[in-house]
Amino acid sequence: MNQEVLTTAEPTVHRMLSIGSRFPDFRKKCVVSTTPGAEFNELSSAELRSGKGGWTVMFWWPKDFTFVCPTEIEAFNEAAPAFEERKARLIGASTDSEHVHLAWRKAHPGLRDLRFPMLADTSKSLAEELGILTPEEKVAYRVTYIIDPEGIVRWMSAYDLNVGRNVDEVLRVLDALQTGALTPCNWVKGAATLN
């Protein structure tokens, strides 16, 4: 009697890049403006590690032309001055192309005057290296990274596709990291740190 051995293939699981890891090298196109002739630029990981003392906050969303994503992008844009005060560069990213980003910015009133670049990871290579792609659609989860001036991830958070994140919490964590001190639960900027 012939017995057939059945095997079930395990899905490929990529581990998310986490705290203490060096943020991967990349060079990607991004949308920086809606002004004709000045819409696109390139952004690279080398700029994140420029040695100028700046931090980076990179946040990912699943898809352009959706519903939760613009609420987050608008909230980060409203908070852009607060990130600038903290010498933190803000970068938004998804796996959509720079042309889709531009079309969305032109079509959505709340996205026209963004103060940060929209990075286009069209090849999905950076999202894959970060381990943040959904298994089915291969779009990015809602992931946020705080990266120090040396290019090391100091904080990350990940949300499921249907849950929007909290920009105030990103700012709170950035403040805590920038103190270089121990901070207690629910610490906020200006409160005492632990000795």
Any domain includes 195: no
Has 30 been annotated as catalytic?
A: no
pTM: 0.90
Q: How confident is the model at residue 50 (pLDDT cuts 50, 70, 90)?
A: low
> What CATH number does residue 144 fall under?
3.40.30.10
pLDDT > 70 in the chain, percent = 91
Any domain includes 9: no
Pairing of strands 27-31, 153-159: unpaired
Inform me whether the pLDDT recorded for 49 exceeds 90.
no
Side-chain half-sphere exposure of 64, counting CA atoms within 13 A: 24
In tens, the pLDDT along 134-188 reads 998 999 999 999 999 999 999 999 999 999 999 999 999 999 999 999 999 999 9
The better pLDDT of the pair 11, 62 is held by 62
Q: How many separate domains does the chain show?
A: 1
Any domain includes 169: no
Structure tokens at 16: 């998310």
The domain of 105 spans: 27-164
- pLDDT for residue 51: 56
> DSSP string of the chain?
---PPP--PPPP-PPPP-TTPBPPP-EEEEE--SSTT-SEEEEEHHHHTSSSS-EEEEEE-S-SS-SHHHHHHHHHHHTHHHHHHTTEEEEEEESS-HHHHHHHHHH-GGGTT-SS-EEE-TT-HHHHHHT-B-TTT--B-EEEEEE-TTSBEEEEEEE-TT----HHHHHHHHHHHHH-SB--TT--TTSPPB-
CA distances from 104 to 84, 100, 117, 142, 168 (A): 24, 6, 13, 18, 25
Task: Give Cβ neighbours of residue 150 (< 8 Å, ≥ 6 apart).
Answer: 49
Query: Rounded to 5 degrees, what are φ and ψ at 164?
Result: -80, 150
Among residues 31, 69, 130, 170, the one annotated as catalytic is 69
Any domain includes 50: yes
Any domain includes 20: no
Any domain includes 58: yes
Any domain includes 12: no
Any domain includes 139: yes
